[in-house]
Amino acid sequence: MRLKFLGGADTVTGSRYLLSDDRHRLLVDCGMYQGVKNLRKRNWAPFPVEPSSINAVVLTHAHIDHTGYLPALVKNGFTGKIYCTKGTHDLCKVLLPDAAYLQEEDAKYAFRKKFSKHEKPEPLFTRKDAQKALEHFESVHYHETFEPVRGMEVHFTPAGHIIGSSCVHVHEKSSNRTIVFSGDVGRQDDVIMRAPEPISKADVLVCESTYGDRRHETSNPEQELEEIITRTAGRGGLTLLPAFAVGRAQMLLYLIHKLMSEKRIPKMPVYLNSPMAIRATEIFCRHHKEHKLSAQQCEFIDDKTTFVRTVDESIELNTVRYPCIIVSASGMASGGRVLHHLKTLLPNPRNSVVFAGFQAPGTRGDALVNGAESVKIHGEHWPVKAEIHNMSSLSAHGDYKEILAWLDQGQLDPGKVYITHGEPVAADVMRKRVRDQFGWDVEVAELFEEVEV
Ligand SMILES: [Zn+2]
């Protein structure tokens, strides 16, 4: 079996790994690049292998940096099946059409405002392409073995990152070797998600390193959130939480309502302004076995939150001047309704903006948490006067210590480990840490490198 790193190497986005033997090609994840322009440009390059030559795709989880290129893959000739867990399938039904919608809107907006260098900017794919991609999906239970291509047996184990997230185990029958892709690995003690299941067997391991060089603050996130919201409301401001629609939005709503019911923050309206996050919340509540919240706790979130569904309601919400809390996608402030809120809220020092997860270099979120004095939104510069926070302790990724602890639980002894899904420094620090703790042969994967497994 050979493994080629088609993406997710040298950066955290664009995860795509190709496994092949003499007759078959199996693609693990098919993500879109996000972040700086140079990375996003890679989305427009022809796919590194002919899509029609790929026999099947398996997915670790639904996030767009792992699935967002699927509509383009199908559009460009892929005809096989896309295998994933039920949770990932449910989420992709929401995420892929939404990604397509954003593509279409961006193209339209760039055309109207004439800030594209193209005569008529085109979306990378349309909602129609996304629907077509969804027809290729087939869901599988955790731990259920299936054979997406002949000779390679696959099963998923829970990765604790978001609903449906999994580690992908691929067993080549002829060589009796197993390669495991960690996907994005969740926290050892997350507020809402269960801990990732330890991996017990891998000859080769492909491991993420988003927080390879960092630890999450050990401070109490509940208390930090309590202080920020209370302080902001006290000066008559609004608290905006740009959140990853899938996963972190649900966790934030849970924490906010918990704080409010314990009277630790003042009573005020809580809005969830993201149609995608609203649907992700419904899916979250349906897949109750995968997270820690009870049906009552889910119902509580549902009852106490005002869901902002229509564009008109969203525009209306932008005129609100009384203290309230708005949770809105996207988590790195790269697109969607949150941009309109940022334009209104950033210039006023009364308000607060709280990020809750990894901010990829080059995103507005990254600029804001690094103290930018202004940010560009819709072609214009907006001054940043609001209080900005990044609570990485609320991240859905384990930090390096948590990942090392997780690897340790499995009593693994892989012959080779490849580090992926990290910025170069994070990946290299992770490489050294894994090598030093376990004595394994560890390498940072390079883009387009092909290795024998
Ligand atoms: Zn993810």
Each residue's pLDDT tens digit, 132-149: 999 999 999 999 999 999
Q: Which of 300, 203, 190 is nearest to 251 (CA)?
A: 190
Judging by DSSP bridges, how do beta strands 204-208 and 81-85 pair with one another?
unpaired
Separation of CA 123 and ligand 1 centre (Å): 23
Q: Does residue 209 sit in the same domain as residue 102?
A: yes
Sheet holding 166-172, edge to edge: 146-149, 152-158, 166-172, 177-181, 204-208, 416-420, 442-444
Cα(411) to centroid of ligand 1, in Å? 25
pLDDT digits (tens, 9 = 90+) for 74-115: 999 999 999 999 999 999 999 999 899 988 988 887 788 776
| Nearest residue to 343 via CA among 294, 378, 313 | 378
Domain boundary among 351, 368, 394: 394
CATH number of 178's domain: 3.60.15.10
**Other residues' Cβ atoms within 10 Å of the Cβ of residue 306:** 14
* Beta carbons of 418 and 451 less than 8 angstroms apart: yes
Answer yes or no: do 73 and 203 share one domain. yes
Give 255 Cα–ligand 1 centroid separation in angstroms: 21
**Same structural domain, 156 and 273:** no
How far, in Å, CA of 62 to CA of 58, rounded?
11
Is the domain of 40 the same as that of 133?
yes
Cα of 184 from ligand 1 centre, angstroms: 5
Å from CA of 162 to ligand 1 middle: 7
What is residue 220's predicted lDDT score, i.e. its pLDDT? Answer: 85
- Same domain, residue pair 206 and 292: no
Note whether 308 and 355 are same-domain residues. yes
368 and 231 within one domain:
yes
Confidence category of residue 153, pLDDT binned at 50, 70, 90: very high
Instruction: Write out the residue range of the structural domain in which residue 353 sits.
Output: 221-394
**pLDDT value of position 116:** 64
Q: How far is the CA of 393 from the centre of ligand 1 (A)?
A: 16
Give me 106's structure tokens: 């961006």
* Rounded Cα gap, residues 9 and 16, in angstroms: 9
Beta bridge mates, 239: 325, 352
Q: What is the mean pLDDT of residues 207-230?
A: 92
- Last residue of some domain: 373, 394, 415? 394
**67 Cα: distance to centroid of ligand 1 (angstroms):** 10
Cα 61 to averaged position of ligand 1 atoms, centre (Å): 7
Q: Mark whether 135 and 243 lie in a shared domain.
A: no
Structure tokens at 76: 């460009």
CA of 356 relative to ligand 1 center, distance in Å = 13
Cα 396 to ligand 1 centre (Å): 8
| CATH label of the domain that carries residue 326 | 3.40.50.10890
**Number of separate domains in the chain:** 2
Residue 126 Cα, ligand 1 centroid: separation in angstroms? 23
Give me the residue label for tokens 């401070």.
219
Residue finishing a domain among 377, 394, 411: 394
Q: What are the tens digits of pLDDT across the range 393-446?
A: 888 999 999 999 999 999 899 999 999 999 999 999 999 999 999 999 999 999
Q: What percent of the chain has pLDDT over 90?
A: 84
110 near 116, Cβ under 8 Å? yes
Banded pLDDT at 379 (limits 50, 70, 90): confident
Dist. CA 101–CA 178, nearest whole Å: 38
Whole-number average pLDDT of the chain: 94
Instruction: For residue 366, report the distance from its CA to the centre of ligand 1, in Å.
Output: 17
Q: How many whole angstroms from 161 Cα to the centroid of ligand 1? A: 7
The rounded Å distance from CA 408 to ligand 1 centre is: 22
CA distance 351 to 334: 20
pTM comes to 0.92
73 or 114, higher pLDDT: 73
Instruction: Decide the pairing of beta strands 450-452 and 2-7.
Output: antiparallel
Report CA(60)–ligand 1 centroid distance (Å): 9
190 & 262 share domain:
no
Closest CA to 126 of 100, 158, 154: 100
CA of 111 to the centre of ligand 1 (A): 31
Average pLDDT over residues 272-276: 93
3-state DSSP call for residue 311? helix
Q: Exposed e or buried b for every residue in 404-429, given b needs 16+ CB within 10 A?
A: bebbeebebebebbbbbbbbeebbbb
Q: Ligand 1 centre and the CA of 147: distance in Å?
A: 25
* Residue 183 CA, ligand 1 centroid: distance in Å: 8
pLDDT at 120: 73
Sheet containing strand 387-390, edge to edge, reads: 306-307, 270-272, 325-328, 239-242, 352-355, 387-390
User: Minimal CA–CA distance to 225: which of 259, 193, 250, 195?
Assistant: 259
Residues 78 and 167 in one domain: yes
Give residue 190 CA to ligand 1 midpoint distance, Å. 15
How many angstroms separate the alpha carbon of residue 59 from the centre of ligand 1? Answer: 11
Residues 232 and 381 in one domain: yes
Residues 233 and 105 in one domain: no
Cα of 181 from ligand 1 centre, angstroms: 13
Gap from CA of 283 to ligand 1 centroid (Å): 16
The torsion angle over the Cα atoms of residues 250, 256, 259 and 262, rounded to 10 degrees, is -80
Residues 307-357 have pLDDT tens digits of: 999 999 999 999 999 999 999 988 888 888 899 999 999 999 999 999 998
